[in-house]
A and B are shown apart, each in its own frame.
Chain A
Amino acid sequence: MIRLRTIAKQILVTFGIVILMTISALVSSVRADSAGISAPLSISDDAYLTGVFQLDRHLNGFDQPLVSTGNFTLSPKDGLLWENQEPFPDTTVMTDRGITRVLDDGSTEVIASGAQFHQFIALISAVLAGNWDALSAHFTLAEMPPETGETNASWHVKLVPLAGLPIADQIIEITAYGDQFVEHVTITKPSGDYDDITLGNQAKASLPLPGDIAALLSGQAQ
């Protein structure tokens, strides 16, 4: 009985983890050596990262991917803001309180809430701090040589979920490569579907966040 209680939220949580783990990997940038694997750039709690993205969602059996583009803002302290610009505007806010969608009229709709989301930010912070150990509780990490066509890539990391963990039901593997900043991430799912996320124009800045973004991440935006 108790298991059923959490099914709906667990599924959303798992998907949320996938996205945030991905973004965590995205912000891995400056090469650092920890346990023999390239480590991400450390971003302290008083800093945040901004950039643009292109998400190519490849669905098994579909000829063309579903393509969306927009901006993102990641604050280890406050959460992740994912703002679609194309094909239409849409804003998703992910914090340790849950996942919220900002509607056209500016009001918000809670997609999922719960204490489980705390781990999103914890994992992001672990990555930003260059702490692969935190990720090793969920993934097997392996460094791979950059492949042909990965322009400017000086490192390539592959994350495979540990067997038996919930995330292993949703993801086969995550690969990411980049140089100073992460340039590309691929999330492969058991169905054969995969998401390609390409990042650009990334910049690190110090808090405070811009007012409108801070309001969205704090849940005070209407």
Chain B
Amino acid sequence: MKLRAAIWVICLLVMGIVTVWQISAKHSRIDGDILALIGQESGPENAERFSDINIVRDLLARDARQAIVMVSHGNRNALEAASRDMAQEFRDIAGTNNVSLPGFETGDAQSLYGLYQKHANGLLSQKDRDSLMNSDGQRLFRRALQDLYSPSSMISAQSLGNDPFSLLPGFLSELGGKIGQSGLVQDDNRFATPIIITLSPDVRTNGQEAQWVKQINDVIATRSASDAALHIAKTGQVFFAVSEASHARSDVQRIAIIATIGVIMMVVGVFMSALPLVATLLTVGSGLLAGITALVVVFDSIHAIALVFGASLIGISIDYALHFLVLPKSVGAARARLAHIRPGLRLGLLTTVCGFVALAVTPTVLLAQISLYSISGLIAAYVTVVTILPVLPHRDVRDRSVIRTIYAHIDNALLKVRIPQKQRLAVLACAVIGLITTVYSLPANDDIAALGHGNTALIEDAREISETLGIGGNPQFIRIDGSLVQDRLETGEAVRTALTPIIRDGILGSLFGLSDVIPSIKRQQENRELVAKELEEPFGAKLRASLPVQTPTQHTESDFLEPDPDILGTIPALASLQHGETDIIRLGAVKDADAIRDAIADIGNARLINPRETITAQFAHYRNWATIALAASLIVAGILAIIRYGAYAGLNVLAAPLIAILIAVIGAFALGVTINFFAIMALFLVFAIGADYAIFTSESRHHGQQTEIRFAVFLSLISSILAFGLLATSSVPVVNTIGTIISIGLACAWILSYWMCSIPAQADTTDSR
């Protein structure tokens, strides 16, 4: 037995080394981004066609590296001075990659102007295009003449060669209007400008977000204090993420401290010794270690959600340890005690593993990670119980401990309730019907916005920035699919035409796509024909008579402006507008998404995508698969129980977790808890732990240690409630959901293990009590 324990200890050490090496060498990374893993299973529809969730994830990932600080002041000069100073201070913060001041810098203007000049006669503003289509070239000719002598004109020898009618300034001016607000706006005698900050990619991966945000906040606080007229607002995913993480961390830390102290007090109080505590920690620790090792070996990227739910197997594995530890020395030596509980442990492990296997076969990477973590961890915890715990010195439970005394009263009361076998079956049947009905009728809400705590100040800042500068906010977009880039550009132009009335009505603030920057060849060709027919032909000679130079009038096909990689690479902002065979049109200040959907309904290859809806749908997808896996787990657990205990007793074992799940769902819903993916995952824990309660209680009838085993289940319940139940006090909705469901579910499962499993159906003759 010692040899097996030594071998297992060596295995655990190897696991530890492998895990540390994998993570420290960055072969595996832990990603806390809620978007990092979800939807990874949704591969491209073909080699170049990406799914909605993939595009959403990519766009949000780009946006996540950007933070916007809006500075406003009644005095423009003071605003510029403060903005420039703040920008420099932001640049000096570790983790800042780039800071720009669109209100006071030209950015890519020169390169873009140079890019356009060569293709100017194919680039028309809509206003000029309409003029030419209405055969009103006279106005444009007149304007071209005026521009030759205007003090503010942009003409040069080069521009006159490429754009003799000065059409490009109009195109550029309209482009600015299409894209949105200026970098410096004036509103009610106040000036406002954005400072755009780009974070280094490693800020998130290195966990430096909180520190970075703190330093940004310090700069803002100092500046605000130095000038009362200065108003500063900020927005960006990083601020929301840090705020949410701060709330969750604060809650979880508080709960973890209480839970840890509680569990330690419980174990020490029951055994009056620290040795059982060591045994318990060894069991739980080996489970956690094995789970993480399995993930880092199999996956390149591990999601934090998988780690959190995987770590919840603490509540299951602690059952295994307590199950062994409560057996008194009087039962026999370690080997004999182990022989008593091994069948129950095996069946409990098998039942739980079957449940998590059902989770693994769902087509979702996130659930597969949770499953692998849990299965590996539980097997490791089991192996620790059967190899290491028997070689540790044993300590009996102290009969006079407070917990034991309290337990005795509760146990006595619960044992007085006797439910005949037929009624048990009737209750089970009703529960099955009720559960099925609940699945179909209980309203679920997978909205990701409901998961977090929300930060009123940040939400208000985001609204203010969106209204003032027209940037930030929920990044809705229209996706355009097509194998040919020119088809997509033409579709983009059709989308703009369809949405122009909606923009005019204020339903949509702005839209910006690749076709705004680079019109389709068809559009450029039309423009050239219009220019040739309506300007060159009637006015070209007159214009040239005013100029002492010849200007070219013919353009070849190769002169068309096209979105080739070189151009997209020159202007990084354009790269995010193209994903393989999909182009993106980004929308700003959307007030009525349905109106937009209706307006583009006839444009076959264009669809409105709301990232919030897309991610919410993805979580709904996960919830559905988790529900199916949970149902499959219950069926498998029922079959295993029937095989082990026979039909009636087997169904009784199934009844405990099943009814507990039903009551947990209804109870949580009645308390206002949102039923979502995380709620279903909490039910998985109720199932796994509840099944253990029932199985251990039923097994105890075989080896005659019912009282001790019921006490072990009671201790397990306390530890689980301490570990999870306290989560119900969290202010973070998703944490609260998990805690509430587990609290209700486990309490019910524990009581039901008495009423449905512990007492022989007709005569309780063996129970010592």
Chain A residues proximal to chain B, CB less than 8 Å: 1-12, 14-16, 19, 55, 57, 59-64, 66, 68, 82, 84, 87-88, 90, 92, 94, 99, 101, 104, 111-112, 114-116, 118-119, 122, 166, 169, 189, 191-193
Contact of A12 (CB < 8 Å), options: B145, B160, B169, B549 = B169
Contact of A5 (CB < 8 Å), options: B146, B182, B571, B576 = B182
Complex Cα–Cα for A189 and B153 (A): 13
A-B contact pairs, 18 of them (CB 8 A): A1-B573, A4-B107, A4-B108, A4-B112, A4-B179, A5-B183, A6-B184, A7-B109, A8-B175, A11-B169, A12-B169, A16-B152, A59-B549, A61-B549, A90-B146, A92-B151, A191-B158, A193-B157
Besides A1-B179, A3-B108, A87-B149, 20 more A-B contacts (Cβ < 8 Å) are A1-B573, A2-B100, A2-B471, A4-B107, A4-B179, A4-B512, A5-B176, A6-B183, A7-B106, A8-B177, A11-B154, A55-B149, A59-B160, A59-B549, A60-B157, A60-B158, A64-B548, A68-B149, A84-B149, A116-B182
Contact of B548 (CB < 8 Å), options: A12, A16, A62, A189 = A62
Q: Does B420 contact A (CB under 8 A)?
A: no
Q: Could you tell me if A88 and B151 are in contact, using CB atoms closer than 8 angstroms?
A: no
Q: Which residues from A are CB-within-8-Å of B517?
A: 4
Complex Cα–Cα for A116 and B151 (A): 18
Q: Could you tell me if A94 and B157 are in contact, using CB atoms closer than 8 angstroms?
A: no
Q: Which residues from B are CB-within-8-Å of A119?
A: 76
Q: Does B105 contact A (CB under 8 A)?
A: yes
Q: What is the interface of chain A mostly: helix, strand, loop, or mixed? A: mixed
Q: Could you tell me if A63 and B182 are in contact, using CB atoms closer than 8 angstroms?
A: no
In order of increasing CB-CB distance, the 6 nearest A-B pairs are A3-B107, A8-B176, A8-B172, A68-B149, A115-B186, A59-B157
Complex Cα–Cα for A6 and B183 (A): 6
Q: Could you tell me if B146 and A101 are in contact, using CB atoms closer than 8 angstroms?
A: yes
**Residues in B73-98 with C-beta less than 8 Å from chain A:** 76-77
Complex Cα–Cα for A16 and B576 (A): 32
Complex Cα–Cα for A1 and B146 (A): 32
Q: Which residues from B are CB-within-8-Å of A8?
A: 169, 172-177
Minimum distance in angstroms from B596 CB to a CB of chain A: 20
Complex Cα–Cα for A84 and B471 (A): 40
Contact of B157 (CB < 8 Å), options: A62, A64, A68 = A62
Q: Could you tell me if B160 and A115 are in contact, using CB atoms closer than 8 angstroms?
A: no
Q: Could you tell me if B176 and A6 are in contact, using CB atoms closer than 8 angstroms?
A: yes
Q: Which residues from B are CB-within-8-Å of A2?
A: 100, 102, 183, 194, 196, 471
Contact of B151 (CB < 8 Å), options: A66, A82, A122, A192 = A82
Minimum distance in angstroms from A150 CB to a CB of chain B: 23
Q: Does B110 contact A (CB under 8 A)?
A: yes
Q: Could you tell me if B152 and A111 are in contact, using CB atoms closer than 8 angstroms?
A: yes
Complex Cα–Cα for A59 and B150 (A): 14
| Given A63-B548, A115-B186, A169-B109, CB of A3 within 8 Å of CB of B573 | yes
Q: Does B474 contact A (CB under 8 A)?
A: no
Contact of B571 (CB < 8 Å), options: A4, A19, A92 = A4
Chain B residues proximal to chain A, CB less than 8 Å: 76-77, 100, 102-110, 112-113, 142, 145-146, 148-158, 160, 169, 172-177, 179-186, 191, 194, 196, 471, 512, 517, 546-549, 571, 573, 576, 586
Q: Could you tell me if B109 and A19 are in contact, using CB atoms closer than 8 angstroms?
A: no
Q: Which residues from A are CB-within-8-Å of B150?
A: 82, 84, 90, 92, 101
Q: Which residues from B are CB-within-8-Å of A87?
A: 149, 546
Q: Could you tell me if B106 and A14 are in contact, using CB atoms closer than 8 angstroms?
A: yes
Q: What is the interface of chain B mostly: helix, strand, loop, or mixed? A: mixed
Minimum distance in angstroms from A191 CB to a CB of chain B: 5
Q: Could you tell me if B182 and A115 are in contact, using CB atoms closer than 8 angstroms?
A: yes
Q: Which residues from B are CB-within-8-Å of A88?
A: 145-146
Minimum distance in angstroms from B361 CB to a CB of chain A: 42
Complex Cα–Cα for A108 and B220 (A): 42
Complex Cα–Cα for A12 and B169 (A): 8
Minimum distance in angstroms from B573 CB to a CB of chain A: 4
Q: Of all chain B residues, which has the CB nearest A166?
A: B106
Q: Which residues from B are CB-within-8-Å of A115?
A: 76, 103, 182, 184-186, 191
Q: Which residues from A are CB-within-8-Å of B181?
A: 5
Complex Cα–Cα for A66 and B146 (A): 11
Q: Which residues from A are CB-within-8-Å of B146?
A: 84, 88, 90, 101
B106, B142, B175, B176: most-surrounded residue (chain A CB, <10 A): B106
| Given A10-B109, A62-B157, CB of A114 within 8 Å of CB of B182 | yes
Contact of A116 (CB < 8 Å), options: B103, B156, B576 = B103
A5, A10, A94: most-surrounded residue (chain B CB, <10 A): A5
Minimum distance in angstroms from A169 CB to a CB of chain B: 5
Complex Cα–Cα for A92 and B501 (A): 31
Q: Which residues from B are CB-within-8-Å of A55?
A: 149, 151
| Given A101-B150, A115-B191, A116-B184, CB of A9 within 8 Å of CB of B105 | no
Minimum distance in angstroms from B130 CB to a CB of chain A: 15
Contact of B176 (CB < 8 Å), options: A7, A19, A60, A66 = A7
Q: Of all chain A residues, which has the CB nearest B177?
A: A8
Q: Which residues from B are CB-within-8-Å of A9?
A: 173, 176, 182
Minimum distance in angstroms from B104 CB to a CB of chain A: 8
Q: Which residues from A are CB-within-8-Å of B103?
A: 6, 115-116
Minimum distance in angstroms from B123 CB to a CB of chain A: 12
Q: Of all chain B residues, which has the CB nearest A19?
A: B151
